[in-house]
Amino acid sequence: MCGIAGILNFGGLPVARPDIVALTDAIAHRGRDSAAVVVGGEGGDGVSRYPGIALGHRRLSIIDLAAHSAQPMRSTDGRTWIVYNGELYNYQALRRELRSLGKVFRTDSDTEVVLVAYETWGKSCLARFNGMFAFAVWNEDRQTLFCARDQIGIKPFYYRLDKTGFRFSSESKALIHPAQDSLNADAVACYFLSMYVPRRMSIFADVEKLLPGQWLEIGCDGRHEIQSYWQLPVAGTKHVSATAAAEEMQVLLDKAVASQLQSDVPVGAFLSGGFDSGMIVASAARSTAGPLHTYSVGFDAAAQSSELPVAKSMAERYGTTHHERIINGSEVIGMLDRAIASMSEPVADSAMVPTYCLSEMAANDGVKVLLSGTGGDEVFGGYSRYVAVNARRKLFFQVPRSIRQGLGAGLLSGTVFGKRLAHASLDMMFYTGGSAGFAENFFADRKAFLGFLDNLTGRVFPRPAAQVAELYENMQFDLQVYLPDLLLMLLDQLTMAHTVEGRVPLLDIDLLTASFSLDPSLHARPTSPDTRCLMRRMAAGQLDERTFSARKQGFSGPVRSWIQGNREHFREQTMAARAIPALHGLDPESLWKAGAEESNAFWATEVFSLYCFSVWYQTHVAH
C-alpha cells in the first residue's frame, strides 16, 4: 500500500523536479518507509529521453521489504518504469507463469510482477490480476503512460487533464492549485444528495477519477484513450442447492482470506459484532500461524447498543490478540474533525470516527495491515434496502418493477418520487442517506433539480445490466457506485492516514463472481424481510449466536446523539458554512429553528452532512 503520483507535460515541456517532489510529498502519509521521484530528459534519472515525464512514489513496505523493491521501479532493460499502489494476491502464481516463459525477476515483490506482466502481455495483463491496485507504467518505446485501476475500485486513482499536461495522484487534494481551484457544482449537489461524490466526478473542478475496471493510456501529445477492461459478472446463471452454494462460497472465502493474509509485517482485522468481520476473523484463525490482532470499538451513548461483548466473545473463541476502545461523547468532536481532515473528498458517514480510531490503534501497535469486512453487503445481499424491511418497503417491492418504472416515467415523471420509481439507482441512493430536499436548494427550481436527477441516471450512473433480477440490479449499483465512492474511499483514506493498509477479502474477484452467479433468491427475496440468507447459512456454528438476531450496526456511530451532546459546536460550525461560496443556496439557520429537529425526519442527516462539509472545506480549500 503506497501513494503514487506523476506528471506528463505535453509538447516536450520539461518537468521541474520540485513539481513532482511537491506532488509526492502531498501524499507523504500514505507511505513513510521511503520516498523517491524520477524525472526524464538529459541529466534526468534515466526514466526517459523525454523531458516531460516524472513519476513519484511514497512507500509503505508490506511485501518484500528490501530496498531493491522500492519505487519508481524500472524494468531490467530500462524500457518501462512503474509506480504502483496496492497488493496483487495472485502474484506468486503469475510469477511462476512468467518464469516459465523465460522472464527473470530481481525482487520478490508483486510490483515487479505487475511490471513484467505488462511488458509480456500488454493491456491484457489486467485480466489476469486478482487484487487491489492503481498503477502507472511509462513505456519508453511508445512514449506513453499507461494507467489502470482495479476492478472494484479498492484503490484510488485521481487525475487532472488539460491542454498542457496530465497529472495523477492517489488523492485528489494533491492535484489542486490552492490559489485557483474551485469546486465542482454538480459534485457538491451530489454530496448533499448522497453523502459522497459519485463516479467519475471529484469534488474539485477539473479533477476526475479513473473508474473501477478501467485503463487510460496517454501520449506526449495529449492524445489519450480510456477503456473498461472488466465487466460485472453475468448474474443468476448457476442453479445449485443452498447447501452446495454455501459450501462453495465458504471454500472461496477461505481462499480469499488466506491470500490476503500474505504479508511481511503484522496483520490485524476490524471486528464488530456483525457477519462480515466475524466471518473474516473465523476464516483467518484457520489460516494464520500466529495470533491475529483484532480491533473493536464502542460508544458511551445510550442511543447506541454496544457490539463489544459479541466481538470479545468472537476474539476469545478464535484466540485473537484483542484490542477494544470506548469512544466517549467528549472526545467525538476532536476525532471526527481529524478524520474529516484526513479525507481528500468530503463524505458524511459516521463510520469515519471508529475507522479512524481503530486504524490509529493498529498503527500504534505496529500493525500495518487490517482486514475489513467492507463489501460483504454488496456481495451477499446484506442491506435492508434490498428487501421488505418494513411495510412501506414491502409494498414498494410488491408492485412489479415494470409498473413502478411506467408510473415513474409517465404519471409521476414530474416528481422526485417518480424519478425514484423510474430508476432503481436513485432509489438506492435516496434510501442510503443524504437529503433530496437539501440538495434541491442548489437549483433554481424543481424542474432544474429533476433535470439534474435525469443527468445522473442518464450520463453519470452505470446502466443496469439487461434482464437482471431486481436484487442483483440493486446490488450491482451499490457495487459500482456506493461501495467504491464512499465505503472504499473512506477505508483507504482513513487507514492510510495512519500509514496502514486496509484489505477487503469479501471483494475477492473469484468470490464476487461466484456469488453473483447464484440464483438471487439464495441471498434474499425483495418481498421478504430477510437479508444475506446464504451467508447466514455459511455462518452457522462459526459466529456468536447474538449476531444472527442483532440489528445491523457495524461501525456506524450515533450521529443524533453526537449532535445533541455537542449542539452549540455543531450549530457554530454549520452556520459558518454560509461563507462557503459553493453553498450559497443553503440556509443553515433553518436547521436550528424551533421545532426543526422534530418536524424534519432528515434533520440529523442534514446537520451532519453540512458539518462534515464545512470542516472539510476549512481544512482543504479555505485560505
Q: How far apart are CA 150 and CA 67, in angstroms?
A: 26
Give the other-Cβ count within 10 Å of 334's Cβ: 9
Sheet with strand 369-371: strands edge to edge: 321-327, 293-299, 267-270, 369-371, 501-503
Burial level of 471, CB count in 10 A (0-12/13-18/19+)? Answer: buried
Residue showing cell 434474499: 524
Give the other-Cβ count within 10 Å of 221's Cβ: 10
Contacts of 299 (CB under 8 A, 6+ apart): 306, 326, 327, 329, 332, 557, 558, 561
Residue showing cell 422534530: 598
Grid cell, residue 259, equals 491470500
DSSP state of 228: E
Contacts of 376 (CB under 8 A, 6+ apart): 275, 276, 279, 382, 506, 532, 535
Q: Which of 343, 311, 347, 348 is nearest to 326 (CA)?
A: 311
Give the other-Cβ count within 10 Å of 103's Cβ: 16
Burial level of 601, CB count in 10 A (0-12/13-18/19+)? Answer: exposed
- Annotation marks residue 2 as catalytic: yes
Q: Which of 148, 150, 181, 486 is nearest to 350 (CA)?
A: 486
Reduced DSSP (H G I as helix, E B as strand, rest coil) percent helix, strand, coil of the chain, to 5: 45, 15, 35
What Cα–Cα distance (Å) separates residue 149 from each residue in 134, 168, 201, 229, 287?
A: 4, 12, 15, 10, 29
Q: How far apart are CA 502 and CA 493, in angstroms?
A: 9
Q: Which residues are catalytic?
A: 2
